[in-house]
Amino acid sequence: MTERQEPGLAARTRFGGVLPDAFPALSQIPETTANLPQRRARTSLISGLKSLRRTQWTVRWRAGLTRALAQERAYGHGFLFVPVFLGLGSLIWFSLPQTPGLLKLALLLCIFGMAAFVLRHSESAWRLVMLLSALFTGGMVLAAWEAARMDTVLL
């Protein structure tokens, strides 16, 4: 050991490990990890989540969300998302490695459009899903049509 070397560094091996006789008290520590109740923790988590679902906080939160969505629907603010979903559809179409055909996209737009038309008076979430899917597919159709209309040859 040199005069600048600390006494704790003398017990280490060349590769950074510790010599076996450096910690003689490690063998006296009892191992307590063998008796952990793993099943009880899982069942208590599930029962805890079930009880959380039934609380008054959840009921008030759902009622507030329903009231806010009804207010947004009454004022017509959902219309502001039409260009967002059209733009998302065109963005996805331009980012695809192989673009689907215009005919396939038009058929998909017809299917989603008819489903949205059938569900137009429904108050379920499927009405919104079909409408947003039709807008998204419409954006893809518009991007495909614009790319076919321009027909630019890249050198």
Q: pLDDT, tens digit, for every residue of 68-115? A: 878 887 888 888 889 999 999 999 999 999 988 889 999 999 999 999
For 30-81, what is each residue's pLDDT tens digit? 555 555 555 554 556 666 666 655 676 777 888 888 888 788 878 888 888 8
Looking at 30, 58, 75, the residue that finishes a domain is 75
For residues 96 and 148, membership in a common domain is answered with yes
User: Packing angle between helix 82-95 and helix 125-150, nearest 10 degrees?
Assistant: 50
CA contacts within 13 A on the Cβ side of 28? 3
Identify whether residues 69 and 86 lie together within a single domain: no
* Domain co-membership, 58 together with 90: no
State the residue range of the domain holding 62.
40-75
Alpha carbons 35 and 33: distance in angstroms, whole number: 6
Contact 10, 1 (CB under 8 A): yes
Out of 75, 98, 133, a domain closes at: 75
Task: Please give the tally of structural domains in the chain.
Answer: 2
Whether 57 is in a domain gets the answer yes
